[in-house]
Amino acid sequence: MKSLTALAFALALTAPALAKDGSDPFAACHQDMQRLCGDVKPGEGRIIKCMMDNEARASAGCAALIAKKREKEANVQQTHGQPGKPPKTVKH
């Protein structure tokens, strides 16, 4: 039941990310999420953290998506600072 709940949660999170052509860019991670993180309780980013922790064990397509997420988070942190910390100032 836990894995079914986690899968449903992951599907709900990825639904808004459907491409204009109707394809799901996160489809590559559905089986990996169930296999690697099916027992993880959804919420508070636990499934995403689990997937990122298991990137090396994920399929190639899913690992590529995880790498993109890491890159995006790094760019956000560089631009806006870490949560709970003031943003970095840019000197002109």
**Cα–Cα distances in Å, from 67 out to 5, 8, 70, 86?**
25, 23, 5, 26
Cα–Cα distance list, 17 to 26, 53, 64, 82 (Å): 8, 22, 16, 24
Categorize the per-residue pLDDT at 89 as very low, low, confident or very high, splitting at 50, 70 and 90.
low
pLDDT > 90 fraction of the chain, expressed in percent and rounded: 37
Rounded average pLDDT over 62-74: 89
Query: What confidence score (pLDDT) does residue 58 get?
Result: 94
Q: Token pair of 14, please? A: 């990825």
* Tally of CB atoms within 10 A around 58: 23
Q: Which pTM was predicted?
A: 0.58
- At residue 52, φ and ψ (nearest 5 deg) are -65, -35
